[in-house]
Amino acid sequence: MSGFPRILQLFNSRWRGWGQLLVTGCLLLVLTACTATPSADASEAELAAILAQLPDPAPLTGGPNPFKTPPVPRNLPPTRATAVGPVCQAMQPAIGREAYSMANFRPEIRSAWAHPTNFGDRAAVDRNGQPVDNRISLIVLHETVASADSAINFFQTPHPRDEDQASYHALIRRNGTIVYTVPPDKRAFGAGSSSFRGESVRFNPKLPGSVNNFALHVSLESPRDGRDNRRRHSGYTARQYDSLALIVQQWMTGYTIPGDRITTHAAVDQSGSRMDPRSFQWQRLAQRLQLLNEGTIPGCADPDVGAGSSL
C-alpha cells in the first residue's frame, strides 16, 4: 500500500485517540458558545464593575450641595430582618436584566431651590413645646401629577399660608434628570396629613400631624396620561427607576434607613385623597436596590419573599 491511503491508515492507527479527543473538545466549545446565556445573578466582579460606573454625588450650582450635609443619625434602631415593607416584598432571588440598565447611566443633576416659605427646619419640639425626635428615618415616594416644570414653579412661588405650602427634596424628570429642590437637612412639606406606623409630628394647631419632620420626599414626574385623577396611568420610565434607586440608595446609606421604611404618599396619607405614585412597580425599584447591595436590601429579609407589588 502506498500514497494517500497509506497516510490515512497511519493517521487512523497512531492518532485516532488524540483526534477523537480534539474533535470532542472543539464540539464542546462550539456548543457552549452557541447555548450559553448570561446569568441573571451578577458575580462579584460584575457587580464591582457596575458599581464603579455609578455616579458619584455631583456638586450642584445655585445652592448648597445636599450630599455635603453631614449624615443625621436615625431616630430608631435598625429594623429587624423579619420586617416587611413593599420594597422588601418585591425582592427576587435573581436580578433581572432590566436592572443592569443602570450600569452605564450617569443621571444629569440639577438644582431648583424652593422658596423658603415652602420648606422649613426639622423642628426639635412640637406645637406644645414637647421634644420630638427629628432625625431622618423615612423615605416617601410621590408623583407630580402635573409636569416637572409646573411642580418646580409652584415650589419656587412664595406661599405665606401654611395650607398652600408644598415641596419635595428631589424630583425626577421623565429622562432621569434629578432636580433637587430642598436640602435633605431641611423639612420639605411633602405630606400634609400623614402618619407612618403611628409616627407623626404636629406643629400647627389648625393642621393635622405629618411625617415631614423625619421624612425625605422624592417625586417622579408623571406621564402625560397621568395628569388627571384616574387611578392608573402608563407608568414611569426605566431611567426614572434608575435615578430613583440611586437617590434612595444614597439616602439609605447616609441616614441608615432600612428598606422597610421606604413608603408612598398614598400609604402615609391620612386624608384619604392621595393615590401617588400611581402605577408604581415596586419590583423595578427592588431589583435595582438589590443590584447596588449585592443581591439584598438593607433592612429586608432574604430575597425569597417576593411576588412583586405595585401601587
DSSP labels, 282-307: HHHHHHHHHHHTTT--TTS--TT---
| pLDDT surpassing 80 at residue 68 | no
Distance CA 167, CA 66 (A): 15
| pLDDT surpassing 50 at residue 141 | yes
Q: What is the percent of the chain where pLDDT is above 90?
A: 60
Encode pLDDT of 171-226 as tens digits: 999 999 999 999 999 999 999 899 999 999 998 888 889 999 999 999 999 999 99
**pLDDT at res. 252:** 97
**pLDDT at res. 302:** 58
Inter-axis angle of helices 44-53 and 282-292, nearest 10: 100
**pLDDT at res. 269:** 94
- The enclosing H or E element of 178 equals strand 178-180
Higher-pLDDT residue of 86, 70 = 86
**pLDDT at res. 307:** 40
- Global pTM value: 0.74
Cβ neighbours for 95, distance < 8 A, ≥ 6 positions apart? 40, 41, 42, 287, 290, 291, 295
**pLDDT at res. 188:** 97
Distance CA 144, CA 218 (A): 10
Question: What is the average per-residue pLDDT within 158-178?
Answer: 95
Encode pLDDT of 12-49 as tens digits: 444 444 444 333 444 333 333 333 333 333 444 444 44
**pLDDT at res. 79:** 40
| pLDDT surpassing 80 at residue 98 | yes
List C-alpha distances in Å: 34 to 26, 30, 38.
12, 6, 12
Encode pLDDT of 213-264 as tens digits: 999 999 999 999 999 889 999 999 999 999 999 999 999 999 999 999 999 9
Quick one: DSSP state of residue 276?
P
**pLDDT at res. 36:** 34
| Mean pLDDT for the chain overall | 78
pLDDT confidence bin for 303, thresholds 50/70/90: low
**pLDDT at res. 24:** 42
**pLDDT at res. 243:** 97
